[in-house]
Chain A
Amino acid sequence: DAKTTQPNSMESNEEEPVHLPCNHSTISGTDYIHWYRQLPSQGPEYVIHGLTSNVNNRMASLAIAEDRKSSTLILHRATLRDAAVYYCILRDVYSGANNLFFGTGTRLTVIP
């Protein structure tokens, strides 16, 4: 699977929007973009995924660049509970391996 690059850390004020960037310049046409997050002392949890079009769900929105070389996870109103490490992961639809490759992610701090 192709590699992703994320900032090590970001801060946000509570109740403000947060934009978490992810670069994936070597993405292939068959790579899906997945986001997971890991709250303190817990296992990771799924947030959202997409292929080409922007996606929305109850947790977040995913904005995918037209050339697909970058994407942004958007939390519309950060809460204290959103403080976590956010992982951007690429998964090839034709890959025989189904494990997720977790990099170091972005540690989001939410300031009250």
Chain B
Amino acid sequence: GAGVSQSPSNKVTEKGKDVELRCDPISGHTALYWYRQRLGQGLEFLIYFQGNSAPDKSGLPSDRFSAERTGESVSTLTIQRTQQEDSAVYLCASSDWSTSGGSTDTQYFGPGTRLTVL
């Protein structure tokens, strides 16, 4: 079946502009995650959605970052007034958390959006 998809695959923007990144999770997956990966580094957690619960925003680096999710479907990560330090690959993952609980659920990752801020 279809995996996690993300769009755009690449985004080049100028410093100070706003950008929106989209994630389409696997159908039926209740949990959705956003991560950021800077060049040559590991993934940093940004935000987590689980069903209708309030999202876990503990990883968002500043108030310029926000994310929304409509029900258990598409999510959008928005970065306002982009800075060069925001340049990274933004990865989205989804999981069927409800069947196994948080400790063992498998997260399925999309291919990421490569953001370059000039």
Chain A interface residues (CB < 8 Å from chain B): 30, 32, 36, 42-46, 49, 87, 91-105
Give, as a whole number of angstroms, the nearest-CB distance from B5 to chain A: 11
A102 to B102 alpha-carbon distance, docked (Å): 16
Is B31 within 8 A of A98, CB to CB? yes
CB distance from A7 to the nearest CB of B (A): 14
- Contact: B103 with A99, CB < 8 Å? no
Q: How many residues in B have their beta carbons less than 8 Å from beta carbons of A? A: 30
* C-alpha gap A98/B35 in the complex (Å): 12
Mark out the residues of chain B between 1 and 16 whose CB falls within 8 Å of any chain A CB in the assembled complex.
4
Q: Report the minimum CB–CB distance from A104 to chain B (whole Å).
A: 5
Tell me the interface secondary structure of chain A in the complex: loop
A58 to chain B, nearest CB (A): 14
Residue of chain B at shortest CB distance from A30: B103
Which of A30, A97, A100, A104 has the most C-beta atoms of chain B within 10 angstroms of its own C-beta? A100
Q: Are B109 and A43 in contact (CB under 8 A)?
A: yes
Query: Which residues of chain A are within 8 angstroms of B48 by Cβ–Cβ distance?
Result: 97-99
* Of B33, B56, B104, B112, the contact of A32 (CB 8 Å cutoff): B104
**Given contacts A93-B101, A97-B58, A98-B102, A46 and B107 within 8 Å (CB-CB):** yes
Q: Is B110 an interface residue (CB 8 A)?
A: yes
Contact of A95 among B41, B97, B102, B111 (CB under 8 A): B102
How far does the alpha carbon of A104 sit from the alpha carbon of B48 in the complex, in Å?
A: 21
A30: which B residues are within 8 A, CB to CB? 103
B87 part of interface (Cβ distance < 8 Å)? no
CA distance A49 to B100 in the complex (A): 13
Q: How far is the CA of A7 from the CA of B79 in the complex (A)?
A: 34
